[in-house]
Amino acid sequence: MMPAVRSTSLPVPSCKILKLLSPRLRNLRTLANSTSSTVRYRSPSSLPARPFTHIRSRPIVTFVHSFVSGLFFSTAPSQMGHDNTSYPMQKNEQEWQAILTPQQFRVLREKGTERPFTGEYDHHHAKGVYHCAGCNAPLYQSSTKFDSGCGWPAFFDAIPGSIKIFEDRSLGMVRTEMVCANCGGHLGHIFKGEGYKTPTDERHCVNSISLKFKEGDS
């Protein structure tokens, strides 16, 4: 269990935060691997440097939250409370398992989180639209994608009406979860007010595995 993290600003870039956390993360990796063979943490040595002034005032807490969630490839059964029968596309568990890979099922239907810096679309810059990997509904335009440096694809806004949001109290935190409005598939979390110079100052932190990119104008 991670200690409580206070919402405070630290005058260090995110890359340095990762290095400062690395001993503790190694311990967490050991713990995680003892319970799941799928969990591994790889040091993000390729993390691109970002301007110091850009993030110096950004609260560390949301970054740590999203990073820790990635460590555990977590599932949160207690957060499955919202009504999955309200979405236009309805499939039972067996039907979802038949069309999704085990990794997609773990994230989309069981609210898992892929490991940071491993997703197909983390550093993906082609023009087009990112669709739901479960139901093919269009979710994000490439024109809203930006490089957050946090290890997952980040968007500052979704296509209107394409997502639904819920309060997620798993892992001892309060986060905003987003799901596909068409099938209820788990996409990731939304973080606000981090200081990114985007039109909304929101970071829609989306699992690559929840998305399917289609090239085109966007």
Q: What φ, ψ does residue 30 adopt, rounded to 5°?
A: -60, -45
Contact 205, 189 (CB under 8 A): yes
**Residue 133 engages Zn ion in binding (rule: CB under 5 A):** no
Question: CA-to-CA distance for 57 and 9, rounded, in angstroms?
Answer: 6
Active site residue 180: no
Rounded least distance, CB 138 to Zn ion, Å: 10
Beta bridge partners of 163: 180
Question: CA-to-CA distance for 42 and 30, rounded, in angstroms?
Answer: 12
Choice from 135, 159, 205, 211 touching Zn ion (CB under 5 A): 135
Annotate each residue in 93-132 with x if it binds Zn ion (CB under 5 A) or - if it does not, as one string. Answer: ---------------------------------------x
> Residue with structure tokens 């998305």?
211
What kind and span of H or E run contains 155?
strand 154-155
105: its two tokens: 């099922």
Rounded least distance, CB 163 to Zn ion, Å: 9
- Restricted to residues 168-197, the positions that interact with Zn ion (CB under 5 A) are 180, 182-183, 185
Reported residue count of the chain is 218
Rounded least distance, CB 112 to Zn ion, Å: 16
Rounded least distance, CB 183 to Zn ion, Å: 3
Q: Which is nearer to Zn ion, 55 or 181 (CB)?
A: 181
Q: Which is nearer to Zn ion, 65 or 106 (CB)?
A: 106
Give the type of residue at 47. Answer: L
Q: Which is nearer to Zn ion, 100 or 137 (CB)?
A: 137
Question: Max alpha carbon distance in the chain (Å)?
Answer: 49
**Could you give the residue numbers annotated as active site?**
205
Residues that bind Zn ion (CB under 5 A): 132, 134-135, 137, 180, 182-183, 185
